[in-house]
Every structure is written in structure tokens, then in C-alpha cells.
């Protein structure tokens, strides 16, 4: 079968896999190939056990895989064949040298740019899907054109706004698709080609175009604003706990103001995920680089409050459990950074598990989708850790339950049954404020939500 267009995506991760699956699903006339340096990841994409869990993803992949969606490791070969190349490799926080702990580590991204230059034998449109510091496209253009060949590369920025857990819905019905390009005739023509791809399923008014630097910066700013809302409400949750105000009531009152809106105003143990912290630190680093220290410290505060909130949670556990946790059995319900994903990157549960290990507890970890990732993460702890998917079994003989992730299954558990099987006094720390606290208290639990008065029998 001949296809109208050959699209390649380099990087088969949480973004590359689902995004390309959606393009293939919506555009049967295009051939879509996803490549990666990790052969185990590619093998998983070609199996029934996909490397990531995302509601609805498996069904879509199954429909199009082998028809117009392909996964392989022949990076060089595929670069030659493609006319449009998305780059969605990882851009983690740098862990070494200048900018360590703050700046984006662009080594994977740069290797990809060099590989494209090395292999390409015809003109290509290169699309930055990864989240990158503003002005990265300039560096990409310089690398791509540094061999003075006659091949033309047009670099576009098309940041991805999907959220894990709702990626398929976000890809199918995006709030907006942003495409940044150079404002030259060539840049605008490349941009229009990408617009045509999205027009296969995204309404025209939702596809917005901008200059390339605005596009790169918008993604960082978008994540910074989302995380800022979480840190803002979490900072107020600490004040609520001191004053007997209730954060849910405060959020509701504040969020009903149309200018503010109600989303992202739930107090919790803090945000996680691979993006928020890394992107804010990246923004902070950029501001510092441009000499904007006040702006940098303003945004740094968002990350600092997030760290504070997690530490505060552990200190509350310690305080309410008689200032010692040593030898106590604590069951963490949930380990992924949010519901409906198996991803644990930067999950608050990691920090809390490790802090509890310092207090010498015995840990039980339960999660519907993230147990394997949790095992990999916690394998070096020098305390007893068990991994039990069934929440009832996970809570047997526990002194305390701590809810880490807002999985809906945890709302609907039979807490009377759980209470009977626990050590007494039984404690529950609801790190997501998802449970019926009054009912739990009536059952006999000592209940400690976030930003609300605690309910204790002691
Ligand atoms: N995860 C999200 O929710 C999300 C949302 C929006 C944007 N982003 C951004 O998208 C980018 C990718 O994120 P992700 O979560 O998909 O990362 P990921 O780590 O899940 O996937 C990246 C993949 O790139 C591969 N890779 C690295 N170097 C390569 C190379 N030289 N050639 C081929 N493959 C290579 C890795 O093996 C990995 O499989 C990041 O910049 C991230 O900030 C992520």
C-alpha cells in the first residue's frame, strides 16, 4: 500500500507512543513509524503488554499497529524514509556539571539532531515534541545545517500538552494544538504542512500558530501555571490545619470565582510526574541565565512548596503516631504519581516511602498499575517492604494507611473490613482527600486529611 506521507517519531515513550498512535488512528493515509534506542521498549510496543498504561491506548494501538503504525529500532533507515520527523526523546533535569539539578539535559535531544543530519538524504520537517528550553530550535537548526549540505531542514515547535492518565482523550480532543515556526516563507510552509496533519481530526480554531520561541516558552509556562495552582492551594492547606478552616470549603469558595476557576485546586501531598518539577526548574534556570533573579525565585517557590508539602505529610504522620514510627507497619495505597497511570516518575509516594524508611517503618506498597515500577524504585531500601496489589491484603495488621494516589478503587473499599484487620489504634492519612473522613472516624479510625481538621479518638 502506498501512503501519502511518511511520518517518523524518534522516542517511543509516554509522549511518542500515544501521540503517534493517535495520528495513525486518525490518518490512515499516512504511514507512522516510531523508533527508539531501547529495543525492549520497542518489543513491548509490538506486544500485548504495552510499555505504558494509559486508558484506551491499547485498543487504539491494536487497531492500527501493522496497518499504518509501526514500531522498530532501525533509526537510520527510518530517518532516510521519513518526510516529517517528530522528536520526543526525554529531556530530564541535568544531574551533572553546570546547571546540575536545574537545567534541561539536552544530550538525548542533541544526539538525535546529529543522527538526523548524518542520515538524511532528502529535505525534512523536524518537529520538536519534547519540552525544551526556549531557543532550543536555534541550536537544532545550527546542528542540522552545520554540514552545509543541500538538504533543507525546517524546524517546528509543537509541544505536547497531554496529561498522563487522560492522554488518549487529550490527544483526541485537545484544548489546543500549538505550532511554532520561523516566520519565513519556508517556516510558514512547513507549519502549514503540520497544520494539515492535525486538521484530520482537530477543529481549525483549536490549532494555533505562533513564532517558534513563543511556542517553546508556552509549554514551560503552561506547566509552571498548573503546578503553581497546586502549590498555591497546598500552601493554604498548611494554614487550614492550624486554623480549623477546611481546604475543600476554601477551594470551592475560591474556585467558584469565574476568574479563578475550580480546576487544579485540590489539596494533596503534592504534584509529581516527569514534567512539572523539571519544567519549572528549567524555567527558573532560564530566568537566571537571563539575569531575571526575581522571576526565577518567584517560580522556584512553586517547587519549594511542593517539597515542603511532602515533608509536612511525613512530619504529621510522625507527630500523630506518638513521635515514633520505628517498627510500625504502614501501608501506602497508591504509588503512581496520579490515578490511571503506572508512571511513578517524581511521584510523591517515592519521597514519602523513602522518608518513612528513614524512620525505620515496615512498608507495604499497593497500587493497581505501578507495582513493578515501585519494586524497581524501592529495591535498595534497607527496611522490610512488601508489594501487594490487593488493598485489603495490603492493610492487614497495619498501624496506618497513607493514601498516596487518587485511584477511584480506594474510594470504594470496605473500610470496616479493613479496620477490623488493622492494628489498633488505626490511623489513616488521606494524602489526596478522597475518602469519606466522617465515616472513617465513625468506624474507629483516627483520620488525618490534608488541610482539614483531623478526627481522632485519642
Ligand atoms: N510524559 C508526559 O506526560 C509529557 C507530556 C508532555 C510533554 N512531555 C515531554 O516529552 C518528552 C518525552 O517525554 P516522555 O515522558 O515521553 O519520555 P520517555 O522517557 O517516556 O520517552 C523518551 C524515549 O526516548 C528514547 N530516546 C532517548 N534518546 C534517544 C535517541 N537518541 N534515539 C532514539 N530514542 C531515544 C528513550 O529510550 C525513551 O524511550 C520530554 O521532553 C517531556 O518533557 C512529556
pLDDT value at residue 216: 95
Which residues are registered as beta bridge partners of 9? 34, 86
Q: Is residue 182 part of a domain?
A: yes
pLDDT value at residue 168: 98
Site to substitute for ligand 1 among 88, 162, 373, most atoms within 8 A of C-beta: 88
In terms of domains, do 178 and 219 share one? Answer: no
Site to substitute for ligand 1 among 90, 171, 338, most atoms within 8 A of C-beta: 90
In terms of domains, do 405 and 312 share one? Answer: yes
Pocket (CB within 6 angstroms of ligand 1)? 10-16, 36-38, 41, 75, 88-91, 108, 111-112, 130-131, 160, 162, 164, 274-275
Q: Is residue 207 part of a domain?
A: no
Boundary of a domain, candidates 171, 202, 233: 202
Q: Which of 409, 398, 399 is nearest to 432 (CA)?
A: 409
pLDDT value at residue 187: 96
In terms of domains, do 158 and 297 share one? Answer: no
In terms of domains, do 168 and 285 share one? Answer: no
pLDDT tens-digit readout, 408-455: 999 999 999 999 999 999 999 999 999 999 999 999 999 999 999 999
Site to substitute for ligand 1 among 92, 274, 276, 342, most atoms within 8 A of C-beta: 274
Q: Helix, strand or coil for residue 416?
A: helix
In terms of domains, do 247 and 387 share one? Answer: yes
Measured from the Cα of 130, ligand 1's closest atom is: 41
CATH classification of the domain holding 344: 3.40.50.720
Q: Cα(100)–Cα(285) distance, rounded to whole angstroms?
A: 10
**Sorting pLDDT into bands at 50, 70 and 90, what band is 406?**
very high
Quote the domain boundaries for residue 78.
Answer: 5-202
pLDDT tens-digit readout, 79-134: 999 999 999 999 999 999 999 999 999 999 999 999 999 999 999 999 999 999 98
**What are the DSSP calls for 339-402, one per residue?**
TT----TT-HHHHHHHHHHHTT-EEEEE-SS-HHHHHHHHTT-SS-EEE-SSHHHHTTT-SEEE
**Sorting pLDDT into bands at 50, 70 and 90, what band is 1?**
confident
In this structure, the residue with its CA closest to atom 43 of ligand 1 is 131
Cα 394 to averaged position of ligand 1 atoms, centre (Å) = 33
pLDDT tens-digit readout, 229-242: 999 999 999 999 99
Q: Is residue 458 part of a domain?
A: yes
Measured from the Cα of 15, ligand 1's closest atom is: 16
In this structure, the residue with its CA closest to atom 1 of ligand 1 is 14
Q: Helix, strand or coil for residue 455?
A: strand
Is residue 279 within 8 Å of 219, Cβ to Cβ? yes
Boundary of a domain, candidates 177, 202, 227: 202
pLDDT tens-digit readout, 33-92: 999 999 999 999 999 999 999 999 999 999 999 999 999 999 999 999 999 999 999 999
Cα 42 to averaged position of ligand 1 atoms, centre (Å) = 13
For this structure, is 240 an active site residue? no
In terms of domains, do 399 and 267 share one? Answer: yes
In terms of domains, do 85 and 65 share one? Answer: yes
* Strands of the 400-403 sheet, one edge to the other: 385-387, 362-366, 329-333, 400-403, 427-430, 446-448
In terms of domains, do 261 and 170 share one? Answer: no
pLDDT tens-digit readout, 147-198: 777 899 999 999 999 999 999 999 999 999 999 999 999 999 999 999 999 9
Measured from the Cα of 274, ligand 1's closest atom is: 1
Q: Is residue 221 part of a domain?
A: yes
pLDDT value at residue 150: 87
Q: Is residue 371 part of a domain?
A: yes
**Sorting pLDDT into bands at 50, 70 and 90, what band is 145?**
confident
Residue in 9, 275, 287, 395 annotated catalytic: 275
Cα 64 to averaged position of ligand 1 atoms, centre (Å) = 22
pLDDT tens-digit readout, 367-388: 999 999 999 999 999 999 999 9
Q: Is residue 404 part of a domain?
A: yes
pLDDT tens-digit readout, 318-362: 999 999 999 999 999 999 999 999 999 999 999 999 999 999 999
Cα 343 to averaged position of ligand 1 atoms, centre (Å) = 13
In terms of domains, do 278 and 161 share one? Answer: no
Site to substitute for ligand 1 among 13, 45, 117, 220, most atoms within 8 A of C-beta: 13
Q: Cα(145)–Cα(117) distance, rounded to whole angstroms?
A: 8
Backbone angles phi, psi at 266, to 5 degrees: -95, 125
Cα 88 to averaged position of ligand 1 atoms, centre (Å) = 5
In this structure, the residue with its CA closest to atom 27 of ligand 1 is 89
Number of domains in the chain: 2
Q: Is residue 107 part of a domain?
A: yes
The larger pLDDT score, comparing residue 252 to residue 146, is at 252
In terms of domains, do 182 and 239 share one? Answer: no
User: Which residues are CB-contacts of 148 (< 8 A; sequence separation ≥ 6)?
Assistant: none
pLDDT tens-digit readout, 199-215: 999 999 999 999 999 99
In terms of domains, do 171 and 225 share one? Answer: no
pLDDT value at residue 278: 96
In terms of domains, do 195 and 219 share one? Answer: no
Boundary of a domain, candidates 181, 202, 223: 202
Q: Is residue 101 part of a domain?
A: yes
Cα 129 to averaged position of ligand 1 atoms, centre (Å) = 9
Amino acid at each position: 500500500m502506498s501512503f501519502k506521507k511518511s511520518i517518523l517519531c524518534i522516542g517511543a515513550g509516554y509522549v511518542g507512543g500515544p501521540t503517534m498512535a493517535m495520528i495513525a488512528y486518525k490518518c490512515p493515509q499516512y504511514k507512522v513509524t516510531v523508533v527508539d534506542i531501547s529495543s525492549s521498549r520497542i518489543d513491548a510496543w509490538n506486544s500485548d503488554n504495552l510499555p505504558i498504561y494509559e486508558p484506551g491506548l491499547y485498543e487504539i494501538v491494536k487497531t492500527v499497529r501493522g496497518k499504518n503504525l509501526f514500531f522498530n529500532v532501525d533509526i537510520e533507515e527510518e530517518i532516510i524514509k521519513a518526510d516529517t520527523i517528530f522528536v520526543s526523546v526525554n529531556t530530564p533535569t541535568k544531574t551533572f556539571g553546570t546547571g546540575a539539578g536545574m537545567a534541561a539535559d539536552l544530550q538525548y535531544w542533541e544526539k538525535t539532531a546529529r543522527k538526523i543530519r548524518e542520515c538524511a538524504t532528502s529535505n525534512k520537517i523536524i518537529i520538536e515534541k519534547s519540552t525544551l528550553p526556549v531557543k532550543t530550535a536555534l541550536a537544532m537548526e545550527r546542528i542540522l545545517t552545520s554540514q552545509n549540505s543541500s538538504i533543507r531542514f525546517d524546524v517546528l515547535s509543537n509541544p505536547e500538552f497531554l496529561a498522563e492518565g487522560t492522554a488518549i482523550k487529550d490527544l483526541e480532543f485537545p484544548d489546543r494544538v500549538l505550532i511554532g515556526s520561523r516566520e519565513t516563507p519556508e517556516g510558514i510552509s512547513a507549519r502549514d504542512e503540520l497544520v494539515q496533519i492535525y486538521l484530520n481530526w482537530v477543529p481549525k480554531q483549536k490549532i494555533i500558530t505562533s513564532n517558534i520561541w513563543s511556542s517553546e516558552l508556552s509549554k514551560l509556562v503552561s506547566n509552571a501555571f498548573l503546578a503553581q495552582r497546586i502549590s498555591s492551594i497546598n500552601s493554604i492547606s498548611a494554614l487550614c490545619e492550624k486554623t480549623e478552616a477546611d481546604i475543600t470549603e476554601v477551594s470551592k469558595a475560591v474556585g467558584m470565582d469565574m476568574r479563578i476557576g475550580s480546576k487544579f485546586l485540590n489539596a494533596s501531598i503534592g504534584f509529581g510526574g516527569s514534567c512539572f518539577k523539571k519544567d519549572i526548574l528549567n524555567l527558573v534556570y532560564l530566568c537566571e541565565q537571563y539575569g531575571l533573579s526575581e522571576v526565577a525565585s518567584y517560580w522556584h517557590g512553586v517547587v519549594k512548596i511542593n517539597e515542603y508539602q511532602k515533608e509536612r505529610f511525613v512530619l504529621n504522620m510522625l507527630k500523630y503516631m506518638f513521635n515514633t514510627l520505628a517498627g510500625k507497619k504502614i501501608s501506602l495505597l497508591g504509588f503512581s504519581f496520579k490515578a490511571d497511570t503506572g508512571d511513578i516518575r517524581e511521584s510523591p509516594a517515592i519521597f514519602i516511602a523513602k522518608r518513612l524508611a528513614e524512620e525505620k517503618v515496615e512498608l507495604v506498597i499497593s497500587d493497581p498499575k505501578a507495582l513493578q515500577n515501585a519494586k524497581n524504585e524501592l529495591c535498595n531500601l534497607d527496611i522490610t517492604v512488601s508489594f501487594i496489589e490487593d488493598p485489603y491484603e495490603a492493610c492487614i495488621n497495619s498501624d496506618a494507611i497513607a493514601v498516596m494516589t487518587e485511584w477511584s478503587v480506594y474510594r470504594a473499599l470496605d473500610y470496616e473490613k479493613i479496620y477490623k484487620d488493622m492494628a489498633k489504634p488505626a490511623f489513616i492519612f488521606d494524602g489526596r482527600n478522597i475518602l469519606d473522613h466522617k465515616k472513617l472516624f465513625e468506624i474507629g479510625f483516627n483520620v488525618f486529611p490534608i488541610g482539614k481538621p483531623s478526627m481522632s479518638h485519642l
